[in-house]
Amino acid sequence: MARQNIYDDEAFFDRFKTLRGNAINFNDCIEHPIITSMLPDVRGKDILDIGCGMGQHAKQYADMGARSVLGIDISEKMLDFARKHHATQNITYQRLAMEDIAELDGRFDLITSSLAFDYAEDLGELMAGIGNRMREDGKLVFSMSHPMATAWDGTYDRYTRSESGERLYANIGNYFAEGRRVVKWVVVEAYEFYHRTLASIIHAITEAGLVIEDCQESRVSEELRNQYPDLFGGTIHRPDFIFFRCRKGL
């Protein structure tokens, strides 16, 4: 499977780090509260965080009482940041592509991933690998971009707007044309991700022998939209993220 490592591009990483450093951003205001609310009790658990990025989630799990946390990521720049800013004695960071988790030893009580599965070319194969790394009573909690968000193919603006600039509705293109998409994002002209339908996501999960316990779509309060209309104004038209909590089937 193809492996994307855009986060080791220096210009992209520096810009991304600046965006994440803002107090108001999509990750901290929208994604993080929802995925945290879906976690099981992590106390005393062995946890694998796939696509751990800068290590915020790994550090959170350690602070919540996890016995051990292994964070894997393909980006050395991300891992360097995590080791410097989000390290504790029970966190290990390892450079490893998510497609290669079969190389890991042992199994985990909880596997998590925050917005990393957008880069997986074969989600079914990834889910099967995750299932093999879960203990019998293990859980998988992950977020990824919502299919309504990845259905935007970059041909047109993300939103159709009124003459005054108000977002009227979100634009999507070729929803049923699954696969690799390339758009302009942050500072790169060719940002790659994979679009798949909601049905395809569900099939990838269930065909790996996992049972969906909970599914949520990102929602933004009217208060937050009104307070930061330039950033969150479009969230009334479509969800940006989708979240799942799964367990191994019997």
Q: What is the pLDDT of residues 9-34, one digit of tens each?
A: 777 778 777 777 788 888 889 999 99
CA distances from 105 to 22, 70, 99 (A): 37, 11, 15
Tell whether the model's pLDDT for residue 158 goes beyond 70: yes
pLDDT of residue 25: 86
Helices (H), the chain: 10-21, 26, 32-37, 56-63, 76-85, 123-133, 147-150, 198-207, 222-227, 229-232
Place of tokens 């367990």: 247
Nearest to 51 by CA among 71, 34, 68: 71
pLDDT of residue 1: 47
Q: How confident is the model at residue 169 (pLDDT cuts 50, 70, 90)?
A: very high
CA distances from 120 to 28, 40, 60, 209, 228 (A): 23, 25, 25, 19, 32
pLDDT of residue 137: 93
For residue 23, what are its two tokens?
């107090």
In a domain, 105, yes or no: yes
CB 82 within 8 A of CB 53: yes
Write the CB contacts of 76 (distance below 8 Å, at least 6 apart in sequence): 8, 95
Strands 68-73 and 91-95: parallel
- The CB density around residue 66, as the number of other CB atoms within 10 Å, is 22
pLDDT of residue 186: 61
- Domain count of the chain? 1
Q: Which amino acid is at 98?
A: M
Domain of residue 112, residue span: 6-145+197-248
- The CB density around residue 244, as the number of other CB atoms within 10 Å, is 21
In a domain, 186, yes or no: no
Calculate mean pLDDT across residues 216-222.
94
In a domain, 1, yes or no: no
pLDDT of residue 187: 59
Beta bridge partners of residue 161, listed in sequence order: 167
Tell whether the model's pLDDT for residue 40 goes beyond 90: yes
Place of tokens 């909970």: 214
Q: How confident is the model at residue 54 (pLDDT cuts 50, 70, 90)?
A: very high
Neighbour-count burial of 27, counting CB atoms closer than 10 A to its CB (0-12 exposed, 13-18 middle, 19+ buried)? middle
For residue 238, what are its two tokens?
């479509």
In a domain, 187, yes or no: no
User: N- to C-terminal Cα distance for the chain?
Assistant: 29
pLDDT of residue 163: 92
Strands 134-145 and 159-161: unpaired
Between 40 and 25, name the one with better pLDDT. 40
CATH code of residue 13: 3.40.50.150
Among the residue ranges 23-27, 138-142, 205-209, 241-245, the one predicted with the least confidence is 23-27
For 106, what's the count of Cα atoms within 13 Å in the CB-facing half-sphere?
10
Please provide the average confidence, as pLDDT, over all residues in the chain. 92
In a domain, 192, yes or no: no
In a domain, 150, yes or no: no
In a domain, 43, yes or no: yes
Strands 210-217 and 134-145: unpaired
Residues 176-190: pLDDT tens digits? Answer: 999 999 887 665 667
DSSP 8-state symbol, 6? G
Backbone angle region of 249, left / alpha / beta, with phi > 0 → left and psi within -120 to 50 → alpha: beta
Residues 97-152: pLDDT tens digits? Answer: 999 999 998 999 999 999 999 999 999 999 999 999 999 999 999 999 999 999 98
In a domain, 29, yes or no: yes
Among the residue ranges 61-75, 88-102, 142-156, the one predicted with the least confidence is 142-156
d(CA 10, CA 78): 11
